[in-house]
Amino acid sequence: MVSVSTQQRNKVHPHKFALWVAIGSIVMMFAGLTSAYIVKSGTAGWHEVKTPTVFWISTAVLIASSITIQAALRSFKQRAMASFRTLFFITLLLGIAFVVLQWIGFNWLWDRGVHFEGSSGAGQFLYIIFGLHAIHVLGGMVALIVLFLRQYFGNTRNYNSTPIEIMSTYWHFVDVLWIYLLVFFIWIG
């Protein structure tokens, strides 16, 4: 009986496994896109794109949201539900702030002539790569909203931390991915 329960504890939850498979796929997609950017940037007529300052602010906001979601997970595991709800709500607000700041940054780029079309290709790559990141952030925002609403309006009180752990892992991944992309575009330009 002891060995059976030990084996069950050592198994990875199927949803966590699916998340890690998805993260691996997303990493491969962005690795391919950033590699293509490097190759394409060596062609004639390529123009570098200046990174908006607001992207640095949005990065700080996203890092803060990673800190709050981790603190929310810790509060959930300690059954400090009031603290969990507050921290989770702050994470949600920071996620919304990140999206708004991104919108401001891309409007800044658009106003300076960085469009999707054009001969340089830099704008095309920028909008595709950051647009795909935005889709992943928006997916995370939907998951945050669903989990938040379940905590306030759910009929049952479930203290299973797996959904919060999955959300936290995904949110940290989106954070690390954004930092990678920002550093990549500043360094490679």
- pTM for the model: 0.85
CATH of domain 11-188: 1.20.120.80
Listed residue (31, 15, 109, 94) closest to 59, CA to CA: 94
CA distance linking residue 145 with residue 15, whole number of Å: 18
* pLDDT tens digit sequence for 25-41: 999 999 999 998 888 88
Domain boundaries, the chain: 11-188
User: How confident is the model over 142-153, as pLDDT tens digits?
Assistant: 999 998 888 877
